Copies of this chain bind each other. A is one copy, B any other.
Amino acid sequence: MAERKNRATQQELILAVSSRLFWEKGYAETSMKDIAGVCGFRPANIYNFFTGKESILFEILYREMVDIVVPIAHLKDDESVNPVEALRLMIENHVKLTLGEKRSSKLLFDVGLNNLSPANRKKIIRLRDDYDAIGVAIVRRGKKAGIFAKDVDDKIAVFSIGSIIARSRIWYSPKGKYSVDEIIEFMFRFALRGLGGGAVFGKR
């Protein structure tokens, strides 16, 4: 008979397995049986650790969003950081989380929100709003400092940069031409130029 594991261990196992399956196959296409199968026990046992399928999804999305926001939260109000450098840090962190380890081709994030209860959805969206606010603050400071072009819209710019990163999950392949670091470099340059701050590096 299989040995018993403790609560925390099994919760993390379920989250790790579910995360992989959700990102790979999609939320609706992943069954509790799938998850339990990979974990090595029966579906019913999942309910000893989570109240239901949705709560698993929420926990995954929430943690991921926290990982994206928390490391850059200090950039929002810190006037001492160069906006260009702040932009780089923001992109670097986001891309690394998006393309690192996991390797998946689905946009769980954009799509999974609709599978959450309104209350849970709100919590995720609040974090997404934080992310946007950080980006907007950086762009604003950059414009004020004369580094970025004044005619770019803060919000759309941040959405655009976020979109470039989020959707790289679809086309990126670890076996491809570029490393994650090179992609970060490209996206940073593209975003910086897009913001009108391209004068930093010459045209090559």
**A residues lining the B interface (CB < 8 Å):** 25-26, 28-29, 105-107, 110-111, 114, 149-153, 156-157, 159-160, 163-164, 166-168, 170-171, 178, 183, 186-187, 189-191, 193-196, 198, 203-204
How far apart sit A63 and B166, CA to CA, in the bound complex (Å)?
25
Main secondary structure of the interface of A (DSSP, over half): helix
User: How many angstroms from the CA of A177 to the CA of B69 in the assembled complex?
Assistant: 26
A73: shortest Cβ distance to chain B, in Å?
Answer: 21
Query: Given that A25-B114, A193-B194, A203-B196 are contacting pairs, would A167 and B163 also be in contact in the complex, using a CB cutoff of 8 Å?
Result: yes
- Judge whether B168 and A163 touch: CB under 8 Å: yes
B26 touches A29 (CB 8 A): no
Q: Mind listing 10 A-B residue pairs with CB under 8 Å?
A: A26-B28, A149-B204, A151-B189, A156-B178, A159-B164, A159-B167, A193-B194, A193-B195, A193-B198, A196-B203
User: How far is B27's CA from A25's CA once the two chains are assembled, in angstroms?
Assistant: 13
Complex contact A190–B114 (CB within 8 A): no
Nearest CB in chain B to that of A29: its residue:
B28
A195 CA to B167 CA, complexed, in Å: 19
Across the two chains, which residue of chain B brings its CB closest to A164?
B160
Closest B residue to A160 by CB, please name it: B164
